[in-house]
Amino acid sequence: MIEVKDLHFSYPTGLEALKGINLTVEDGEFLAIMGQNGAGKTTLVKHFNGLLKPTTGEVLVNGTSTQQISVAKLARNVGFVFQNPDHQLFSESVEDEIVFALKNFGFEGETIKKQVDWALNLLDIEQYRKTSPFMLSGGERKRVALASILAWDPQVIVMDEPTIGQDHQQKEKLQQFIIQLNAQKKTVVVVTHDVEFVAECNPHVILMSQGKILVSGKAEKVLTNPQLVAQASIVPPQITQIFLRLADLGLPTDVIDVHEATKILLEHLRRRK
Amino acid sequence: MAIIETKDLTYTYPGATTPSIQDVSVTINKGDFVILTGPSGCGKTTLCRTFNGLVPHFYNGTLEGEITVSGLKVADHKIHELARHVGLVFQNPENQLFALSVEKDVAFGLENSAMPRDEMRKRVDWALQMAGISELSERPPHELSGGQQQRVAIASVLSMQPDIMVLDEPTSFLDPVGAEKIFKVINELNKKLGITIILVEHRLDLAAKYANKVIVMNEGTVALTGTPREIFTSEKARLIGVGIPKATKLYQHLKRQGVTLKTVPVTTEETANLLLEMLNHD
Amino acid sequence: MSVFEGFKFRKVSSVIHNLDPRVKFFFVCILFVMAIMFNQFLALVVLFFIPLPFVFMARVNRQWLRSLRGAALLAVFIFATNFIFGYFYPSSSIPHVDGAIDTSMEYFALFERAAAMTLRFVVLIASFSVFFLTTSPDHLGLALQQSHVPYEFCFAFTTAVRFVPVLADEAQTIMDAQKARGLELESGNFIKRVRNYIPILIPLIVNAIRRSLELAEAMESRAWGASDKRTNLYKLNLKRADITMVLITVLMLIIALYIWLFIPVPSLTSLLFT
């Protein structure tokens, strides 16, 4: 469990990036943090594994303040997948890339082998085991980076803008993968401004703007509120945009999913006949 | 009138065993707003590079087939000659701005072409204004937001007054509001100045409404060409993995349940209007 | 690395900022020459005060002070070495009897000499810092270009300056990414610590190469090399303020030469002890 209590954070340049954040991420929760670039989303999640420490206030991971623990220790529980896989890949082979973190966390011999096999399998990159990560395509490199973090099986997985630069099919795969992880009781935190992606997963959503949390709630409640969404400089999902236009017909406006939208429209037509 | 025409264009990067694009034949007309899409690695970026001669002049490798851009045969003209007709804007704004002030970056291409200073000043100011960033002219580009940087990149290409502008996923690092602003600027260049636009994009939901033509590539070849309406309802496009906008998807779902709207909508406005019309009519 | 703080340019406008960089560079060089000409403490004190009005006119006092503070450690080191060397190997410039330093006057003379050497260093830092604080790298590149330095070199210079903050950010991100995978930079013996940096250096280099390729592509796409006679959006013209500044500098140099040749500068020791 991650608890954030009245967190303020200023960069050494004096820029105040977070202005009093209060937030609890429960075990097994699926949370999306949204808002425009520069709203403080990444700054906030960098506190979860201690990469940044609060200027004032505190962040507790499983009850212990991050002030007292090193990043290496916190990272054992909180895996952080960076936006650009090229910021971490350095090994000669995909396998070595995954072994790197396992060794850092003190895994040994058979366990390392077992975890590597498991992670390669999980992300469907078994065939690249001996390949250099630099020879792979962008989408594959992203999967290697993800595997290298899931390998040590952290309880919480934070992903910074996972959909950037991904094509439609890659996004769909990623979405299924995240839902699957969450179903296995993993806590998943996704930082993103990809509204359609969030609309399809329907997680708990936090909207941020200028270092503050605007609102926190289920995606279908938060993303369908045009005022709040505008304040966070994002746009409502397409389905919501359509239903906001149909509000005068007495239809609900908190719809984000195309299947549900179809059902509501059919129901409406039937009732009118 | 065709402004870009390729015929059986095939290109292999040096050291590669298979071609990145194969037998590509496309015609793009003057004033078109084309969206070029397809899965990662399908050859979109390579095709864009042939438009201003980066392929083959910068990358070497072997180019077969024919390509003519603004009446110039790409194989016979240097990149800087083609650059006067074709402007390229890349995905990462950070790696295409070199100067320490915005206006200096916008002037870069003109300086290279040895334009006299007075004329250059006019062109720079005009390009900044078209991109809506006049007030940023003296700022250092690296202090700007991603969206602003991308508009600087557009202005720096626009200042050369090209006939064609090619933008390779210009919004992938931007938030929706920043992306929308970029699309609006591009659309104005297309509609007001008549610049032919080729936009590489995955997020069709945001860009579809501006385009009159979509080219879908897959595994190095052109798989489909058509209007957004045609592409979004094509079963083949779905199988290739083109992201159909939700506004069109809703239409398809309803159709499957026996409810058919009058036309195929591409934008949320269209879907909403069609639904309103139908529901008010009954 | 706070000494570098004093060399970071911030965009402000003032008389000093608007001076032609070539003129400012001339001024700094002359100050440099004068600091070498004189080794007397009192003369160097006067030299130290010369850049002060420019600092205030340019309103960069805070950054300027920070650069001096950054240089403090090095200054202490210079003072200590001069003092110690002067003690063990007294030279003719420090009065001493019987080859050793024992009287208070001799100690004071030694002190004065070490202080003078330190002050010389401080004068250099102080004047160069004013130059860099008030000269945009863009203008500097332009000055180089108009001084007939080849354009490729000037371009390389401004581009390097442009990408320093970008690369610094990138290095930080890579470090964060590897720390998030359990890398502990500060652990182990010396060899291990050096090895710890491999996971940071490799991505940094790979990304730098990728970035330069993208930059080259963007440059080519914007007609790089289209003409031999490249033009420039800006042009440096000597304005009245620049000419005034050149005159002030030349006058300074003449006065300094006159003093150097004809007026012996007294030492503080001789003033106090005789």
**Does B202 lie at the interface with A, CB-CB under 8 angstroms?**
yes
Distances in whole angstroms, Cα of residue B72 to Cα of each of A127, A257, B30, C34: 45, 49, 14, 62
What would the pLDDT profile of A220-238 be if each residue is shown by its tens digit? 999 999 999 999 988 999 9
Same domain, A250 and A217: no
Same domain, A134 and A244: no
Put simply, whether B178 touches A (Cβ < 8 Å) is yes
Q: What whole-number distance in Å separates Cα of residue C252 and Cα of residue A94? A: 66
Whole-number Cα distances in Å, A17 to A9, A81, C27, C252: 6, 21, 42, 49
Do residues B3 and B30 lie in contact, with contact meaning Cβ atoms separated by under 8 Å? yes
Rounded Cα gap, residues A113 and C176, in angstroms: 26
Q: Is the pLDDT reported for residue A109 higher than 50?
A: yes
How would you class C263 by CB atoms within 10 Å of its CB: exposed for 0-12, middle for 13-18, buried for 19 or more? exposed
Domain of A248, in residue numbers: 237-273
Q: Which residue has the tokens 């005034």?
A: C244
* A17 and A93 within one domain: yes
Q: Do A138 and A253 lie in a common domain?
A: no
Question: Domain boundary at A181, A201, A223, which?
Answer: A223
The reply to whether C13 touches chain B by the CB within 8 Å rule is: no
Contacts of B79 (CB under 8 A, 6+ apart): B52, B53, B54, B57, B58, C220, C221, C223
Q: Which residues in chain A have Cβ-Cβ distances shorter than 8 Å to B169?
A: 165
User: Exposed, middle or buried: residue A266 (CB in 10 Å: 0-12, 13-18, 19+)?
Assistant: middle
What pLDDT sits at residue C8? Answer: 57
pTM: 0.87
Do residues A161 and A255 both lie within one domain? no
Query: With contacts defined as CB-CB under 8 Å, which chain C residues touch A72?
Result: 179, 182-184
Please give the Cα distance from C205 to C174 (Å, whole number). Answer: 11
Q: What DSSP state is assigned to residue B57?
A: I
In a domain, A229, yes or no: no
Identify all chain C residues contacting B92, using CB atoms and an 8 Å cutoff: 214
Residues A265 and A170 placed together within one structural domain of the fold: no
Closest-CA residue in chain A for B206? A238
The pLDDT assigned to C146 comes to 87
Please name the residue that has the structure tokens 């007939």.
C148
Residues of A in contact with B180 (CB under 8 A): 235
- Angle of helix C151-179 versus helix C137-146 axis, rounded to 10: 150
As a whole-number percent, the residues of chain A with pLDDT over 70 amount to 100
Render pLDDT for B91-144 as a digit per residue (tens, 0 to 9): 998 899 988 889 999 999 999 999 999 999 999 999 999 999 999 998 888 889
What's the structural domain count of chain A? 2
Handedness of CA B127, B129, B131, B137 (dihedral sign): positive
C172: helix, strand or coil:
helix
The domain spans of chain C are 1-135+238-274, 153-235
Average of pLDDT values for A87-93?
A: 95
CA angle at C15 for the pair C9 and C20, rounded to the nearest 5°: 70
The residues on B that touch C, with CB distances below 8 Å, are 52, 54, 58, 79-81, 83-84, 87-88, 90, 92, 94-101, 103-104, 107-117, 120-121, 124, 138-142, 156-157, 160
- B278 Cβ contact list (under 8 Å, min separation 6): B259, B261, B262
Q: Which pair of tokens denotes residue B120? A: 């250059």
* DSSP-assigned letters across all residues of C70-82: HHHHHHHHHHHHH
Does residue A230 lie in a domain region? no
Residues A109 and A26 in one domain: yes
**Cβ separation A148–C184 shorter than 8 A:** no
B169–chain A Cβ distance below 8 A for any pair: yes
Predicted local distance difference test score (pLDDT) of residue C6: 47
| Residue B57 and residue B67 in contact, taking contact as beta carbons nearer than 8 Å | no
Tell me the CA end-to-end span of chain A in Å, nearest whole number.
51
Identity of the residue in B176, B253, B257 whose CB atom sits nearest the CB atom of A235: B176
Interface probe with C: pick from A47, A70, A88, most Cβ of C within 10 Å: A88
Q: Is A134 on the interface with C (CB under 8 A)?
A: yes
Question: What is the per-residue pLDDT across A41-78, written as a single tens digit (0 to 9) for each?
Answer: 999 999 999 999 999 999 999 999 999 899 999 999 99
Note whether A186 and A270 are same-domain residues: no
Whether residue A231 is contained in a domain is answered as: no
A54 and A165 share a domain?
yes
Chain B: touching chains (3 or more CB pairs < 8 Å): A, C
- Here the tokens at position B170 are 């210009």
Q: How far is CA C169 from CA A273, B219, C117, C159, C176, in A?
A: 63, 36, 38, 16, 11
A168/A252 same-domain check: no
Interatomic CA distance for residues A125 and A109, integer angstroms: 21
CB atoms within 10 A of CB B218: 20
| CATH of residue A184 | 3.40.50.300
Question: How far apart (Å, rounded) are the C-alpha atoms in residues B55 and B11?
Answer: 8
Each residue's pLDDT tens digit, A205-219: 999 999 999 999 999
Q: What is the pLDDT of residue C89?
A: 77
C171 touches C200 (CB < 8 A): yes
Which pair of tokens denotes residue C189?
Answer: 């013996």
CB contact under 8 A, C170 and A87: yes
Query: Are A134 and A20 within one domain?
Result: yes
Phi–psi pair at A3, nearest 5 degrees = -120, 130
**HEC secondary structure over A50-76:** CCCCCCEEEEEECCEEHHHCCHHHHHC
Distance from CA of A2 to the nearest CA of C (A): 17
Q: From CA A273, how far away is CA B13, in angstroms rounded?
A: 62
Bridge partners of B37, per DSSP, are B216
ipTM, two decimals: 0.92
Q: If contacts are CB pairs under 8 Å, which of residues 161-220 in chain C contact chain B?
A: 161-162, 165-166, 211, 214-220
A182 with A245, same domain: the answer is no
pLDDT tens track for A139-191: 899 999 999 999 999 999 999 999 988 899 999 999 999 999 999 999 999 99
pLDDT values of chain C reduced to their tens digit, one per residue, 274 residues: 344 454 556 667 788 888 999 999 999 999 999 999 998 899 999 999 998 998 888 888 888 888 888 888 999 999 999 888 888 877 655 655 555 666 788 888 888 889 999 999 999 988 888 888 888 888 888 888 888 888 889 999 888 888 888 888 899 999 999 999 999 888 788 888 888 899 999 999 999 999 999 999 999 999 999 988 889 998 888 889 999 999 999 999 999 999 999 988 888 888 887 6
Look at residue A232 and tell me if it is in a domain. Answer: no
SS (H, E, C) C98-123: CCECCCHHHHHHHHHHHHHHHHHHHH
Q: Which of A134, A131, A157 is nearest to A146 (CA)?
A: A157
Beta bridge partners of A215: A207
What residues have CB less than 8 Å from C271, skipping those under 6 apart? none
pLDDT digits (tens, 9 = 90+) for B164-173: 999 999 998 8
Beta bridge partners of A32: A190, A205
Residue in B with minimal Cα distance to C232: B111
